[in-house]
Structure 1
Amino acid sequence: MRKLFQKIDRLRLGGYAVLSVAKNSPYAACNGQRFKIHSMGTPDIKCRITLYIENQLVDFNIDQVI
């Protein structure tokens, strides 16, 4: 749990996240790219993170970003 909170704190301070989704995802072409964070949900195991991708807001969970 400590590592999870550290990751969330790092993302909040940095303001950007690198996308890392499965190869069958519609956003697989964006893997490894850095995107600005719009908002984050409450810190937990499935924390929601909203990113700006091509001027659209897209929701991911904490496991899908680096």
Structure 2
Amino acid sequence: QVCAYLAAITAPSLLIMAEKTLGFVNKEDYQRRVAAHPNLQLVKLAGGHHLHIDDNVEGVASTVKAFLAGVTTDD
């Protein structure tokens, strides 16, 4: 059911993952869900669970900025 919802998303989406995960993420479920999203950009950055506030703030910010610069809107 989750994969069906993800497959229906048409908006460009960004998923930033820390290289050091907490370990509770099921790898097979994660891979299946990432593959289901047709417009997903996956970026893995150095850091842990709080990479956006502690470990890799600049990396997260530059990744988001680059992603948003590439997103266009239909007028």
Q: Which of 1 and 2 has higher RCO (CA within 8 Å, sep 6+)?
A: 2
Q: TM above 0.5, one fold?
A: no
Higher-helix-fraction structure: 2
Q: TM-score, normalised by structure 1?
A: 0.29
Higher-strand-fraction structure: 1
Q: TM-score, normalised by structure 2?
A: 0.27
